[in-house]
Amino acid sequence: RSCVRSVGDRKLRFDVTGRLESECWNKMRLFLAMLMCAGFSQMAFLRPLASGAASAGRRETYLRSSHHEAGAPSETAPSEVHSLRRWGLGLVAAALAALGLRNQPAKAASFPVQGNEDIMKPKAHGSTEFPVQEVLRWKVDRATADRICSYNRHFAEYAGYWSSTNFLKEASREGETFYDSVSGKPLFVAPTGRSWKDFEKESFTHGWPSFRDEEVNWENVRCLPGGECVSVDGTHLGHNIPDAKGNRYCINLVSVAGLPPTV
């Protein structure tokens, strides 16, 4: 129960953070828009002031130069006006730059959760303590599953294998939980934050089930420095292959076809 609650809390924090970020940016954009208007108004106000000041400066230069000896340096127009104009331009430029940052894709600050090589150190059965479960879901091939899960760090089931199984016939469109084929621990829940159609389309496009940050149970999943995605018990799952949308976890179906432990 604590594990499920923890996972739920993590997802809740993820959703709340997104909403707070959106609200903060909306307020920031309104504030910056006001600053931009103030900056343009200031520029419009300073234009005639600068013109008049320049004329006054030229008259003052002429009068002062008449009291100086030939070759003496003359005065220029007041620098305060130019400083104010530069300030106005800088304000507008800063506002535009800040607004532009909102259109850049957000960087994943806390995901993936990193692990270290100790997770995959040799154990009783390759990188895991036990072989894969005797019965796996969706009629995936057990020998292939055991080889990929416990005796492999780089290779994968062939592209499109997942769609040749019973997965598409049996998976719940409302949200399917994917369990470790060795330990039976929950690793992914999909779709989360998108439709089944989107999940299926992305998986077909890339050839393997593809998950996003919010679909990962980070209590039981880690990513190693090279991008390898593994379970905390040493099961090889796949790799993190980021794209324009963010982290994308390209996962072997044979690695996540387990059954939950029976109580």
Q: What is the pLDDT of residue 262?
A: 83
- pTM here is 0.61
Nearest to 179 by CA among 129, 229, 220: 220
Q: What is the pLDDT of residues 137-174, one digit of tens each?
A: 999 999 999 999 999 999 999 999 999 999 999 999 99
**Is the confidence at residue 31, as pLDDT, over 60?**
yes
Alpha-carbon span 219 to 222, nearest angstrom: 8
**Is the confidence at residue 107, as pLDDT, over 60?**
no
The pLDDT-based confidence of 197 (bands split at 50, 70, 90) is: very high
- Burial string for 44-75 (b: 16+ CB within 10 Å, else e) reads eebeeebeebeeebeebeeeeeeeeeeeeeee
The DSSP result for 76-120, as a single string, is -S-HHHHHHHHHHHHHHHHHHHHHHHHTSPPP-SS-SPB--GGGG
Give the residue carrying structure tokens 């008449």: 66
Alpha-carbon span 143 to 140, nearest angstrom: 9
